[in-house]
Amino acid sequence: MKAKQSKWSFIYDIEVKDKRNYTRTLYVTKTPYSNCQLFTIGSIHGIMDATDSSIIELFETIYKTLTTKQLLSVDVTKENLKRVKERLKLVSSRIIQKKYTSPNGSIMYECKIYLNKKKYLK
């Protein structure tokens, strides 16, 4: 059995600057579940120290160049949940979270973020 990259791979790297001017790479997947309703961002914890303007620019860039979907799904550790939610409030109208225990025993949260494009489109 072999695995190969599909021609339908929709993963994009996007860099965001934090408050110390360090670059963090986030991974945007346009169709994670072959679902037309949502997209995901991997390494979402990278926005915890991002400036407000970087976060707004991030979502504006995603909307204008990658996808116009308004439902975001992210996976967050218990330790990062509060800060990530605080940062995502800049661009969202509602956040729903579901707690679970990962196979390695970590407490995690799957979050659905209802984006509000009025908060980040100019």
Tell me if 3 is assigned to some domain.
no
CB within 8 Å of 79: residues ≥ 6 apart: none
Helix boundaries (H) for 27-99:
52-61, 78-88
* Per-residue pLDDT reduced to its tens digit, 55-82: 999 999 999 988 999 999 999 999 999 9
Domain membership of residue 25 as a residue range? 11-119
How many angstroms separate the CA atoms of 76 and 49, rounded? Answer: 15
- What is the pTM (predicted TM-score) of this model? 0.87
Higher-pLDDT residue of 51, 33: 51
Q: How many domains does the chain have?
A: 1
How many angstroms separate the CA atoms of 97 and 85, rounded? Answer: 10
User: Which CATH number is 21's domain given?
Assistant: 3.40.630
Tell me if 72 is assigned to some domain.
yes
Tell me if 2 is assigned to some domain.
no
Tell me if 78 is assigned to some domain.
yes
pLDDT beyond 50 at 1: no
Tell me if 39 is assigned to some domain.
yes
Tell me if 6 is assigned to some domain.
no
